[in-house]
Chain A
Amino acid sequence: MFRLNTLQKTVILTILIIWALVNLFPLGVMVVSGFKTTREIFLSPFSFPAHWSFKSYKEAWSVANFSTYFKNSIIVTIVSITATLFIASMAAYVLARFEFPGRRALYLFILAGLVLPVRLAIIPIFLLIRKLGLSNTLVSLYIVYTAGGISFSTFLLTNFFKSIPMDIEDAARIDGASYFRVYWQIHLPLLRPALATVTVFNFIRVWNDFFFPLIFINDNTKKTIPLGIQNFFGEYSIQWDLLFAGLNIAVIPIIIFFIILSKQFIGGLTEGAIK
């Protein structure tokens, strides 16, 4: 995009490499420390471990309930993202394709959720969840994550819907297909790239959330990874080998997942989801 001489290219490359190292160094320390003993972490911080051992990992995994946290995080993420995708895409279909009285007001009403941080409404949400008897359940998390994802997802999908030519749908309607069938059979498949972007954004939001489990969940068997990690750090604060191993267990799967799908992640952002 820019025309650069060799010197400028070198400077730019140096900037990029430095920032990459600033990103990778802490993560590298984390990974290596997970294989060390606490003594090694303290006394020989710059060396690799004398023995690469998975001992801390095994111990962290078993003492900290990680299998439960993982299971919960996976279930919560899958359920709430699936629900968000269906609910928001149906709403976006209506908002983008039909003209009816109050359409604009409805659209603005939903759009408002883009900038209303859900956390600010936490007290009434908490009371509502309590009244519905859903405290301490994963269902409470499905509900807030789905509801909290509607605005952004609907907004993104509405814009995308508008870019699909209308003719396809008119043809199908003339053939007598119901609105739901048009949405289901014609639009959803065309919407796939946008759905991928929406999934990626919601994934990061839901998988990493700490706040709602903190408020809703007490029971150790219902905790998700971020809340579980907090629990774990409270209990094993001086066993650094366990702490690092625990962080690795929590973090490495998500990093691998991200690297595999980085095209979708980065594509979603660089195609201008945020304008």
Chain B
Amino acid sequence: MTARKLFNKYNYLILIIPALLLYTLFIAYPFISSLFLSFFKWPGIGPKLFVGLDNYKNVLTGYMSREFFRALGHNFYFLFLNWTLSIVPGIILALSLAAGIRGSDFFKTIFFIPNTLSIVIVGFLWALLLNPQWGMINQVLKAVGLDVLAKAWLGDTKLALPTIIVITGWRGMGFYVLTFLAAVVGIDHSMLEAGRIDGASENQIIFKLVLPQMVPIITTVTILKIIWSFNIFDIVFAMEGTQGGPAGSTDVLGTLFYRIAFGGLGSSQVGMGLGATVVTLIFLIVFPVSVLYIYIIERRELRG
């Protein structure tokens, strides 16, 4: 085939070039480049020094390891608690909305409002509301005689991280409710009718027919949650600052990375290479889950 004929046959491919170019240059290439950078010592300017696995040694067993594993633990804790706080209430609220009560459109709108707000703004708002002295939350608790519960929510090393996770859950709930609701509404009604004809109670219908149908969406949401949980940054930054205070009790991989790569530690530790190492390690945690997600999407698509 001549070049001209080839061009005529495939000239529609021109339409995909802008997407491909932008995506390759600004998403795909940086991922690979980041991996390379993790083998170098480099403060961001000047020559790069190849150091082999030194960055990894420093992060995993060396002077950064204590901070790294503490942050990693916090990310896992975040994932676990945030998952629990989103999935179960999310399903309950979705089923409630699906029940066919009047005004459910109104509730859907209300539930989604926090989701439309920027995470940092949510963080700043709640930091004011949770202020130990003047914040609304403690003022309410004191007013109803629950003074013992009026804690320093964001200033206590034991309470700060759970508090942040609850706030994250508050903001995100609308998304989970609506996503679950889509799955519930999508269930074939004739199947539920058939169940009723066979004498199933409404409880049985929910537990034996509806919930099993929701397993795929729960899987998807869980996967997305794993990916997101290892990327949290904004909410901690807004509520506790780049140091992940108090005393590092809310420090996560995102804030640790930010300090290393973009300042906030002392100059000796600031480094693009070391930062790239932390990011690569996060990537290694997320990657298997990501592959699983793509696999699931693909399989569902092939099935139609």
Contacts and interface: CB of A to CB of B under 8 A. Distances in A.
A122 B28 CA distance: 11
Contacts of B247: none
A36 to B, nearest CB: 12
Contact of A45 (B139, B178, B179): B139
Contacts of B186: 272
A26 interface: yes
Contact of B16 (A27, A91, A122, A240): A91
Contact of B101 (A13, A27, A204, A211): A13
Given A16-B107, A120-B31, A110 B13 contact: no
Nearest to A112: B294
B143 interface: yes
Interface string B290-304: 100110011011000
B250 to A, nearest CB: 17
6 contacts: A2-B98, A95-B16, A115-B286, A155-B297, A179-B15, A266-B109
A244 interface: yes
A224 B58 CA distance: 36
Contact of B220 (A110, A123, A275): A275
Contact of B134 (A97, A154, A226, A240): A240
Contacts of A27: 113-114
A121 B227 contact: no
Nearest to A246: B124
Nearest to B231: A117
B156 interface: no
B118 A226 contact: yes
B19 A90 contact: yes
B262 A116 contact: no
B15 A180 contact: yes
A128 B29 CA distance: 10
B1 interface: no
Nearest to A247: B125
A242 B205 CA distance: 52
A60 interface: no
Nearest to B97: A16
B245 to A, nearest CB: 15
Interface of B: 10-13, 15-16, 18-20, 22-23, 25-31, 33-34, 37, 89, 92-93, 95-101, 104-105, 107-121, 124-126, 128-129, 134, 136, 139, 143, 170, 173-175, 178-179, 181-186, 189, 192, 196, 202, 205-206, 216-217, 220-221, 223-224, 227-228, 230-231, 233-234, 237-238, 254, 261-262, 272, 275-276, 279, 282-283, 286, 289-290, 293-294, 297-298, 300-301
A42 B133 CA distance: 9
B128 to A, nearest CB: 6
Nearest to B296: A275
Nearest to B26: A147
Contacts of A26: 125-126, 129, 136
B95 to A, nearest CB: 8
A2 B120 contact: no
Contacts of B125: 26, 30, 247, 251
A225 B118 contact: yes
A41 interface: yes
